Amino acid sequence: MFKQKTIVRDAKRMSDNDKREAFCVSAEDNLFCAVLDVLNDHIDDARMLARDVRTAKDPGTLAFSAGGMDALETLFADLVARREEANK
């Protein structure tokens, strides 16, 4: 039912200092806001799927939707927290 996508990352992993520097942007930064908006779109989609009456009849889909929603919400909160920490 759901296709799992593989993300290929060619670049080397960033150091903690490099990540902290990258997150040192204002809350109004266009790219940062765009990333959060895309995450919110996916969170909303997962919520709609989890609330769908048909989903209640399929425990696997419900668990998948709830798990995905939780992961996206955690990622959203982590990104916001990293930006706030970088701007202290």
Q: What is the pTM of this model?
A: 0.76
Q: What letter would DSSP give residue 61? A: H
Please write the tens of the pLDDT for every residue from 20-34: 999 999 989 999 999
* Domain extent listing, the chain: 26-86
11: left (phi over 0), alpha (psi -120 to 50) or beta: beta
Please write the tens of the pLDDT for every residue from 60-82: 888 888 898 999 999 999 999 99
pLDDT at 9 over 80: no
Confidence category of residue 6, pLDDT binned at 50, 70, 90: low
pLDDT at 36 over 90: yes
